[in-house]
A and B are shown apart, each in its own frame.
Chain A
């Protein structure tokens, strides 16, 4: 199963449209959380919002995750050790208020298992290579909690 998520605040049809187009000729089973959009997609299963527990389940069950470049999606993929394909939202297209997702994508682009699609063509290319051709990819897995360094600093501040 391929899990797609674009967060709950804003639609991201530019991303979902590519996936819907690709899914027509792919054997993959796609489940997409689309956020507040009225666009109808015909080749993938969609839901606007997901309950927290369902969200966790789809992350665990997915073979590959496709998402906007939001930190929740990135951290969840890294915690599950799953490959994630990211497409950052662009302020110039009205997809977010500013370009912080572009900065996030640049920061995480070189991490194993994170693939940044800078445009629709590159996204399609990743979908065909990583999913259809089942390319073996290295992934990264991080622990469930922050490092002891930051935790110790906070413990000290809290106990003062």
Chain B
């Protein structure tokens, strides 16, 4: 198996807690973590942690800065795989990841049990693998059901 470079992206809080639960899937690879938390959780080594500005999908100014920070990280790190559980930072990582030819994976947060998140809906265009954690939300044309992080 060849080692891949993975960019794992999630905003601080519930999104990051969910992404960290998937860590064993990354074990043979080099992982760079991106989040909005000032300090990284204890599971992440400080050298592989990159902080970006916090901004929701409704804050255009903050989003522009966050998008640029993520653009720069993607250009600099050149990941083979980009994976996110949401929200806004994950969306941008998928966009720029897709443009440089990385394999892109979106897993919508388990908090969205009745409809996909806004970032999740927007990421459809950029995700090679577009997943939901709720079977009721899955569809033949995506998102597909992958199971849940619990």
Interface string of B13-48 (1 = CB under 8 A from A): 111111001111110110000000111111000000
The one of A53, A146, A159 that contacts B150, using a Cβ cutoff of 8 Å: A146
Interface string of A149-160 (1 = CB under 8 A from B): 111111101111
Q: Which of A7, A75, A150, A153 has the most CB of B within 10 A?
A: A150
Contact B147 A76 (CB under 8 A): no
Within 8 A of B (CB), among A94-125: 97, 100-101, 103-104, 107
Using CB atoms, name the residue of chain B closest to A5. Answer: B13
Q: Please indicate the chain A residues that have their CB under 8 angstroms from the CB of B110 in the complex.
A: 71
Chain A interface residue number, banded: 35 or more
Q: Please indicate the chain B residues that have their CB under 8 angstroms from the CB of A53 in the complex.
A: 39, 42
Query: Is A42 on the interface with B (CB-CB < 8 A)?
Result: no
Contact B1 A157 (CB under 8 A): no
Contact B56 A9 (CB under 8 A): yes
With A and B bound together, what is the CA distance between A152 and B40 in angstroms?
Answer: 26
Interface string of B138-150 (1 = CB under 8 A from A): 0000000011111
Contact A71 B22 (CB under 8 A): no
A-B contact pairs, 30 of them (CB 8 A): A7-B14, A51-B38, A52-B37, A52-B41, A52-B42, A70-B14, A71-B15, A71-B17, A72-B16, A75-B14, A75-B18, A100-B111, A100-B112, A103-B113, A142-B150, A145-B22, A145-B23, A145-B24, A146-B21, A146-B22, A146-B24, A147-B148, A149-B147, A150-B146, A150-B147, A150-B148, A150-B149, A151-B24, A151-B25, A154-B22
Kindly list the 6 A-B residue pairs having the minimum CB-CB distance in the complex, ordered from nearest: A72-B14, A71-B14, A150-B147, A154-B25, A72-B13, A71-B111
Given contacts A52-B40, A146-B24, 5 further A-B contacts (CB under 8 A): A53-B39, A100-B114, A146-B22, A157-B103, A158-B25
| B interface list, Cβ under 8 A from A | 1-2, 4, 6, 12-18, 21-26, 28-29, 37-42, 54, 56, 58, 81, 83, 103, 105, 109-114, 129, 146-150
| A interface list, Cβ under 8 A from B | 7-9, 51-53, 56, 70-76, 78, 97, 100-101, 103-104, 107, 142, 144-147, 149-155, 157-160
